[in-house]
Structure 1
Amino acid sequence: MFTALVTGGAGFIGANFILLARNKQWLNVVNLDKLTYASNLQTLAELQDDINYHFVRGDIGNVELVSYLLEQYQPDAIINFAAESHVDRSILSPQEFIQTNVSGTFNLLEASRFYWQKLSLQKQQQFRFLHVSTDEVYGSLNLKDPAFREDTPYAPNSPYAASKAASDHFVRAYYHTYGLPTLTTNCSNNYGPRQFPEKLIPLIILNALDYKPLPIYGDGQNIRDWLYVIDHCEAIYLVLQQGKIGETYNIGGLNERANVNVVEKICAILDELVPKSDFNYSSLMTFVKDRPGHDKRYAIDCSKIKRDLGWQPQENFDSGLLKTVQWYLSNSYWVNQVRSGAYKNWLKQNYENRKS
C-alpha cells in the first residue's frame, strides 16, 4: 500500500480524507498538522491504535522537519490540505494567510523537490504532489455567467483567494520548471461532518440550537456551489490515482444555492428534527452588514473530471445537508471541544459590529 504525507490533516477536509483513506485502506498516512484553532485531533481519535497512521505536529513551512519526515517515511505522495481558509479572517489578518498559504506551500514544494530528485527513476515516476485549492481563485461570477472552468483566468478578490492563487501558481511553476509531478484540484464550498463552526453551515446549525441570531451577510443572495466533503475526498483520491501530471481538476457539487436559502433549509430541517411547539428557527434569521469585497457567485464546471476520470458527486444538497445536521446533533462532545474561548472571541470580533 502506498504511503502519503498528508498536510493539514487535522482540519476539516484533511481529517475527513484521512478517515476515509484508512477506513477504505487506500493509503498509509503520515499526518503533518500544526494544530491551529481550526484543527482538532479528537476528529481522528478512532485512528489512535492504527499502526499505519502517524501524526506529527509541525508546520509545512519548516523545511527541515518536512525533509526529515520525507526521509523517514519515504512517502509515494504528498497531499497538501494545509491552509488558512476563512475569508473573514484573511480580511482582518492577511499576514497569516501569506505565511501559510504562500510561504508554507513554497517551502513544502522545495522539500518535496529535493526529496523527489533523489528517488530512483521508478519511484520518481510513481510520486505525486497533489495540491488542494479553491474555486475562489477565479473571482466572482454574475448570475448568467458560465461556471468556472480549469482555464478560467484567475481573478482573486480577497486576501485568502489571492494567497491560494499564489500557491497554485507556485505548484504549476514547479511542474513546468523542475518536472515535479504535481496535480491541483480547485473545489467549491465544502460542507459536512467535522467542520469548524466559523463557516456558514455549522455556524447556523449551532447558533440555531442555542437560539442565537443566524447572521446572513448583506441581502443573502450570494450564491455558492455546495460540495459534500465525502464526495470531495473521493474525487481527490481519484485524481491522485488517475490524474494527468501537471493538470488541474475542478471539483464541484453541482448544487448552487443562495446563502439565505441555505439558512432557510437548515431551519426547516431543525424544525423537523428538534421541533419547538411555539417556535420556528427561521425567526432567528438576521441580516447583517456585508463582508468587504463579497463575491456574488461561485459555480464550478466539473465536466473535465467527469469526462476524464469518471467522477461526479453522489450526494445532492438535500441529502447531504440532512446528514450534516444529524451529525452535529449527534456529536455534542466534539462540538463543545471546538467552541472554546478563542472561538467565542472570534464570533464577537467578527459579528458584534455588524448591525442589522
Structure 2
Amino acid sequence: MVGLGRPVWTDMVLAAGLAAVVVAGTLAVGVGQTDRSRPLDLLGLALLVGASAVTAALRRTAPLAALAGATALVNAYLLAGYPYGPVLLCLVIAVFELARQQVLSVSAVAAGVASVVSAATILLRLIGDSHVPALLALAWTGWIVLPWSLGALIHVMGTARRNLIARTAVEERMRLAAEVHDIAGHGFALVTMQAGVALLVFDEEPEQARISLEAIRESSAAALADLRGMLDAFHPAPTLTDLVQQVRAGGLKVDMHVDGADDLPEPHSTAVYRVVQEALTNVLRHAGPTRAEVAVDRRDRHVEVRVSDRGVGTSAQAGRGLAGMRRRVEELHGRLEAGPREGGGFQVVAWLPAPEATR
C-alpha cells in the first residue's frame, strides 16, 4: 500500500519513533512533577501513544483529522492530571502540517479551535494549583500559534511559487503561439501568393509558373527551418549518449568517442546532435550491415564532428539529409563534407567554430 507516494510502513516507523520520544520524555520530566501530577499509568501511556500514532499516521493524508485527534487526546491526557511533557509535540506537528497543506481559512479556524480548547484545558488544570501561574494558559497557546504561523508561511510561499510557475508557463505558451503564428502565417502567405500566380500562368507562361513553384519550395523550406529552430530552443535535444543508445537498440553497432564536447552551449550542442542524428539515420537506411563510428572532438578553434561507416550504400546515402545538415552547420559559419571514405563506406565530417570564437 502506498499513500501519497510514501509506503505505509514509513508512517508506522515515524509513529513508533514519535511515541517512543513522547513516552520517554514524559517519564523523564514526570519525576519532578510527582507532587502535583498523576503518576503515569496504562491509561496515560495509551493516551500518549494514541496521540503520537494519530499525528504521525494522518499528518500528510488527513491533516485536519490529525489535528482533531491530537487535540482530543492531548487535552484528555492533560485533563486527567498526568505530567506536562513532550506530548505537546503532537499538537505542534499536527498544526504545522495542517497549516502547510491547507488554505489559510481552513487552517486558521482549526488552529483557533485547538487553541481555545487547549487554553480551556490548562485553565481547568490550573484551578487549585498554586505552583503554576494562570498566565500559562495564554502562553500555552504559543504551542499552536507558532507552528501555525510557520506552516502558513510555507504554504503561502509555495502557493506563490506555483502561481508564478503557472503564469510563466502561460506566458511562454502565448509567446510560442505568437511565434508560430508569425512564422507559419508569413510562410503560408507567400506560398498562397506564389501558388495563385502559378495557376494563372501555368498554360501561357510555363517558365513563370516554374519560378513561382521554386519560390513556393524555398518559402516552405525557410518557414520549416524557422519552426524547427524555434522548437529546438523550447525542447533541447537529448544527449548524444541517449541517441547512440537508441541507434544501438535498433541493431546498429556504434562506437562513440567524445572529447571535451559534453558541455557545448546552444546552438552548438543542437547542431552537433542533429548532424550525428541525421548521419546515423542515413547509415541505418542505406549502408547495409555495417558498424558506425561517431567522434566529436573539441579543439581550441573548432569542434569536429565525424560519423563514418563501412557500408555499401554510398551513392544513396550521399543524397539523403545532407542539405539539412549543411544548412545547420553553415548557419554557425561552419563547414560540412560528406562522401566515400578510404577503404569503403561513407563519412560525414562537420567543422564548427568553437563557441568562444563565435561570440
TM-score by length of 2: 0.22
The structure, 1 or 2, with the larger RCO (C-alpha pairs under 8 Å, 6+ apart) is 1
Whichever structure has more strand as a proportion of its residues is 1
Larger radius of gyration: 2
TM-score by length of 1: 0.22
